[in-house]
Amino acid sequence: MTHAIQQKKIKWSSTQLTESNDYVRVFIKAISEYLTLPERQEIYFISKFFVDATVEIKRGHFEYAQHLFQRGEKYMEKVDVASLSGKLLRNVYTRSKSLYYYRSDQYQKAISLVDEALTINIDLEKSGLRFLIFDRFSQLHNLSRIYFSLHQTDKGVDVINSIATTLMTGQSSEYMTDVEGFLDNLNVDGKTMRSSFLCLIITETLNNLFKLSVDETSDGAALFTSTFYAQLTDAVKGFHVLTDIDRQLQEWLQIIELYHRREFDLFQEKSIAYLTSGRAFYGKQPNSIMAGYLMKLTGPLTV
């Protein structure tokens, strides 16, 4: 169960066609209503170059990735930019290419491509492909990583808070506008994607912030953790629990919140009870984060 959830989590430039079965199914179904089969096959074919390129970037094969981009770009040139096909391709392209720029330390180029991708996303969502809102979450998640890399931690935290707020409450937030009906329109696949995406961004961000506070032992880093959590607390209050994972996440967040409210006695009691109960979700990452909090307070937990 846990394993399946982990596999489903959306990664950078989620490979539209191969990485997540849920996503592929939803994607194919949605575009089938709008595009002819030759148009769809063309999209699948051209997208593959960009999807493959992201894989090669992650392996450090930049030259080959560049080659794959060039091949894909050549085929993409023949597709009308203003057509639905053109926009969908541009959507895949911008996210893959922004990763390329991000990994080759060209952060400004990466940011401007993320911006472009967000605009295309909103446009596509309005023309009926509502599930692409998940691409938007994913793009913003990438944007936050860029900010973290640029040591603009406050901005990174803002972006994450914005995504988390919209995901939890369904309400628009600083970076997530045009989200009307987001929660109402979620099907089973969408609910699952929402849960695992929430787990991903919350655990990843807390882990990052933890690392900051360990490396620099600065009050600044600790402050960010508190700021992140303070903003998250509001979102937790309006959290629409739709799946079992959501329920577990909510329960976990409520315990972590005690720490940030400085109710240390209660936090210690509840977190020890939680950690020794054998409960776990989303791998064991939330557990190790909770143990990390406890460590800050009392030193290592011996069970």
Partner 1 sequence: MEFKTSQYILISDPLSGQADDLTSKRMIFSTRKGMGVTVSNYLLQLLESRQFELIPDAMFNILLFHEIIIAADEDELTEIVMGKRMIVKSDEITVGVGFREKSFSEKLDKATSLFDKMRSDLKLIKLEVNVESFLQINPIVNALNEAAGSNIAANVEIQASVICLFSADIYDSDLKTGRIKLTEFHLLVTDLQRSQAVCEWASAFVARPENSGVKLHIDIIFKGNDIADHHAHLLMINALQGIEVKFCYAGNDEGLNASDEKNILRSLSSIALPYDLIPPVSRTFYSPIPASKFVGDDYQMDKTMASINMVGDEKGYFMKRYYDDEIVSELLRRDTACSNCVYMPLCGGRLNKSQEHALDCPGFISNFIEKARLKYKIPLEIS
Q: Which stretch binds partner 1 (CB under 8 A): 57-65, 144-152, 174-182, 257-265?
A: 57-65
Nearer to partner 1, 62 or 107 (CB): 62
Q: Within 10 Å of residue 78's Cβ, how many Cβ atoms?
A: 9
Give the residue, chosen from 11, 40, 103, 260, that forms a contact with partner 1 under the rule CB under 8 A: 40
Contact between 61 and partner 1 by CB under 8 A: the answer reads: yes
* Of 223, 297, 295, 230, residue with least CA distance to 264: 297
Give the residue, chosen from 7, 45, 83, 297, that forms a contact with partner 1 under the rule CB under 8 A: 45
Give the residue, chosen from 64, 115, 122, 291, that forms a contact with partner 1 under the rule CB under 8 A: 64
Helices 62-76 and 37-58, axial angle in degrees (round to 10): 160
Q: How far is the CB of 269 from partner 1 (least distance, A)?
A: 33
Q: Which stretch binds partner 1 (CB under 8 A): 59-67, 163-171, 189-197, 241-249?
A: 59-67
Q: Which stretch binds partner 1 (CB under 8 A): 22-30, 158-166, 200-208, 242-250?
A: 22-30
Contact between 44 and partner 1 by CB under 8 A: the answer reads: yes
Instruction: Show contacts of 233-238: CB within 8 Å, 24+ apart.
Output: 233/257, 233/260, 234/165, 235/161, 235/164, 235/165, 235/168, 235/169, 236/168, 238/168, 238/169, 238/171
Nearer to partner 1, 35 or 183 (CB): 35
Question: How far apart, in Å, are the Cα atoms of 154 and each of 113, 157, 162, 205, 222?
Answer: 21, 5, 12, 12, 12
